[in-house]
Amino acid sequence: MTEEIRRRDAAATRQTLLTAATELFAERGYDRTTVRDIATRAGVNQALLFRYFGSKEALFVEATSDTSLRETEPSLLLAEMLEHLLTPVSSGHRDQVLTTLLRTLGTDEEAAAVRRRLTTRYMAALATLTDEPDADLRAELVLAWVFGISFMRGVSATPPFANADPDTVRELVLPAARQLLEKIADAT
Amino acid sequence: MTEEIRRRDAAATRQTLLTAATELFAERGYDRTTVRDIATRAGVNQALLFRYFGSKEALFVEATSDTSLRETEPSLLLAEMLEHLLTPVSSGHRDQVLTTLLRTLGTDEEAAAVRRRLTTRYMAALATLTDEPDADLRAELVLAWVFGISFMRGVSATPPFANADPDTVRELVLPAARQLLEKIADAT
DNA sequence: CAAGCTTGTAAGCGCCTGCTTACAAGCTAC
DNA sequence: GTAGCTTGTAAGCAGGCGCTTACAAGCTTG
């Protein structure tokens, strides 16, 4: 049994808030998520949010910073990202950070900073997959594709993607992307 | 000379408001644009916004509905979209609708409807460019790429794209996209 | 020139936002 | 057992939001 009868547990409350915030930011983005929403979903008084995190922005940074960008081999990175994007979100909270960042496109500086940092890391990894001089541009174009797919699938939720088989998508995307980054490998 | 000394001109005021709204929605998205912002940029009392448009949402719909999706031949559509996306925004107000929709990713139903309608039209055009059975999926993947490029360039504004030569980008994207939609043509 | 409509203005309403404060309730150490 | 800290609660503050109202200023028609 899990410890269910715990009350007055600061660490647990903090974690509950963080989880609720992560979910809501991914679902609605930064602007449309209110601190009251977060507290309600966490089943917690909203004042505690400020006690434990200081501000809504600080909570956002913490919710999006545990990126868990695994140390995947770059040649498999694209295939893995596609898999993450295309598997049903319901199955555990997958890498929602991408979705969160896509939903948070305002002028908000914190969000923009998080987005830029993440982008740079992925780009650097992908840029190793070609010997062409314009490796960065090629990497960014491929990354842009991932963002676009993530956008249309997770955010816009247009019909074809909703029913699309992940394998089919991968078999379409990988060869095309290989035109830009020739060292992209197939999934294992 | 243009007629500058016109006052009490309802049509002109309406148009000024519409222009200001279009710009601001593209710059900041729906949520972060306030009716006061719009009225201020238009140099007009904000009550007039409600007199002429009824609500902020109605104004948004009108600002994004003049899509001007030209009747381009589908095989040239991708090249043309890329050109639109990559030419400096400063040069006249280009097709900002894509940017606006990207910046407006909340739960807002009106924005989602506009986005869906536009997407469907572009997809239908692109789907004619292959004889494969999964034409729709292929078209959506290509469109996703355009969205991603638009996102990274216009919204996220990451470095490589900012300095990228439009022709270079096109020469990278078109051949790769042709893996999905074989009838894509080069720019004229 | 005055009636009557249209266009523009100033003020403010009710609501929601992020955030704070004052205080009650529970836990731990002596 | 009670002092003193930590955890949770209720209420509310100031400011910004979309939107409305009451009214002044201008134009058009007899």
Residue B132: what residue type?
E
| H-helix or E-strand spanning residue A135 | helix A135-150
> Is the shortest CB-to-strand distance from B7 to strand D under 7 Å?
yes
What's the pTM value of the predicted model, to 2 decimals? 0.82
Nearest to B70, CA basis, from B61, B57, B79, B60: B79
Give the pLDDT of residue B3.
35
Average of pLDDT values for A83-94? 61
User: Amino acid identity, residue A85?
Assistant: L
> CA dist B185 to B45, B137, B173, B188, Å?
49, 19, 12, 8
- pLDDT above 90 covers a percentage of chain A that reads 45
Single-letter amino acid code for the residue at B138: R
Segment B118-158, tens digit of pLDDT: 888 888 999 999 999 999 999 999 999 998 888 888 666 77
Q: What was the pLDDT predicted at A127? A: 95
| Residue A18 token pair | 């963080």
Residue B88 pLDDT: 62
* Partner A contacted by B174 (CB < 8 A): no
- The residue extents of the domains of chain A are 3-63, 67-177
B104, B153 in Cβ contact below 8 A?
Answer: no
Amino acid code (one letter) for B165: D
Nearest-angstrom CA–CA distance, B146 and A157: 16
Q: Are B99 and B155 in contact (CB under 8 A)?
A: yes
CB contact (8 A) between residue B137 and residue A29:
no
- Using CA atoms, how far apart are residues B74 and B185, in angstroms rounded to an integer? 9
Distance CA B154, CA B168 (A): 17
User: How distant is C1' of D15 from CA of B160, in Å?
Assistant: 40
Residue A44 C-alpha, separation from nearest chain B C-alpha, in angstroms: 24
* Assigned CATH for A3-63: 1.10.10.60
In this prediction, residue B70 carries a pLDDT of 60
Per-residue pLDDT, B186: 82
CB interface of B with A, residues 79-98, below 8 Å: none
Query: A59 and A66 in contact (C-beta within 8 Å)?
Result: no
